[in-house]
Structure 1
Amino acid sequence: MKKTVFYLILVSMAIVSGCKAIKNMPEAEPSPEQVSLAVEPGNSIPLDVQLQKVPGITVQGEGANARVRIRGSASFLGDSEPLFVVNGVPVYGGFRDVFSMVNTAQLKSINVLRNPSDTGIYGTRGANGVVEIKY
């Protein structure tokens, strides 16, 4: 019994010491495949209109029904919509959910990730690109 507990402690220590939390990783400088847009705080421009200002993003339609695409992304899962990450939390409902949850008056930045090395932390869901929104 003592050997089993000792081995479990060693294994758990190795796993914990070998992992590095994403939140503790330093933020990388934008690569050529990353596009960032600093947003003026306090404006009330709708999110779909703000996304149209970001190079490499195509927005079709208006409001919550808009379709957002990242230029150059391939359709991996049958849908070419990018993954939206709001304040570090992936939103799997698509742009409609993001549109209803983001208060554009508090919007700080929009960051677009297209490179597989940048989107890799999001797995296959990030294969169509990632739009990071911070507010």
Structure 2
Amino acid sequence: MMPPILNDRLVPILATALLAACAGSKDPQTAPAPDATSSAAASSSASASNDAVSNAQIQQTPGDPLEKLLMARSPGVWVGRASDGSLAVRIRGGSSLMGNNEPLYILDGSPFTPGPEGALTGINPTDIDSIKVLKNPAELSMYGARGANGVIIIKTKQKR
């Protein structure tokens, strides 16, 4: 423990030093604005490369459920069981306390509603050509409010 005399002298000195350090310069320095088209394209291409699951990756892990593969290959995707036992998928966490937090599922270009056991349980893994998870706002903007919780695009081998 420090003696009270030293403590009384040290506090004003530290407060003055902290105030001087926080004051900084009078001229605000702003960073250059990023180019909107290049940043959207860069984030879109980064997202596409990280969040796509191909048929070859599905075939490498036969017997594993799709949700396990999706969680392993797509950062930010959580797949688990809800309190009623159904499959719950969350992309970037939940966006609502009381509402639906399920992502929008697109199967061969058409939106579909998952069944009681979840969307991924009714699809044969050998029929899937690719699965892509959309998370960033630039990609989700074309789906509007329905895509607010993320979008999972599933393409099958039959529909090209």
Query: Structure 1: how far apart are the matches of 2:152 and 2:54?
Result: 13
Query: Structure 2: how far apart are the matches of 1:86 and 1:93?
Result: 11
Deviation at 1:130, TM superposition (A): 0.3
> Gaps spanning 5+ residues in structure 2: where?
1-40
2:107 equivalent in structure 1: 86
Q: How does 1:74-113 map onto structure 2 within 5 Å?
A: 74-75=95-96, 78-93=99-114, 96=117, 98-113=119-134
| Mean Cα deviation higher: 105-114 or 44-53 | 44-53
Query: Structure 2: how far apart are the matches of 1:87 and 1:78?
Result: 26
1:118 equivalent in structure 2: 139
Does 1:39 find its partner at 2:55? yes
Q: Which has the higher relative contact order, 1 or 2, with Cα contacts under 8 A spaced 6 or more apart?
A: 1
Deviation at 1:112, TM superposition (A): 0.8
SS in 2 for 1:60: strand
Deviation at 1:46, TM superposition (A): 2.2
Total equivalences in the alignment: 107
Query: Structure 1: how far apart are the matches of 2:98 and 2:114?
Result: 14
For the pair shown, which has the larger CA radius of gyration, 1 or 2?
2
> Gaps spanning 5+ residues in structure 1: where?
1-27
1:52 equivalent in structure 2: 71
Go from structure 1 to structure 2 and tell me whether the alpha carbon gap of 1:105 and 1:44 turns closer, same or farther (over 3 Å shift): farther
Deviation at 1:60, TM superposition (A): 1.1
Deviation at 1:65, TM superposition (A): 2.0
Go from structure 1 to structure 2 and tell me whether the alpha carbon gap of 1:77 and 1:94 turns closer, same or farther (over 3 Å shift): farther
Go from structure 1 to structure 2 and tell me whether the alpha carbon gap of 1:95 and 1:127 turns closer, same or farther (over 3 Å shift): farther
- Give the aligned residue type for 2:80: Q
Query: Is 1:84–1:94's contact at 8 Å kept on the other side of the alignment?
Result: no
Go from structure 1 to structure 2 and tell me whether the alpha carbon gap of 1:120 and 1:32 turns closer, same or farther (over 3 Å shift): same
Query: Normalized against structure 2, the TM-score is what?
Result: 0.54
Go from structure 1 to structure 2 and tell me whether the alpha carbon gap of 1:73 and 1:130 turns closer, same or farther (over 3 Å shift): farther
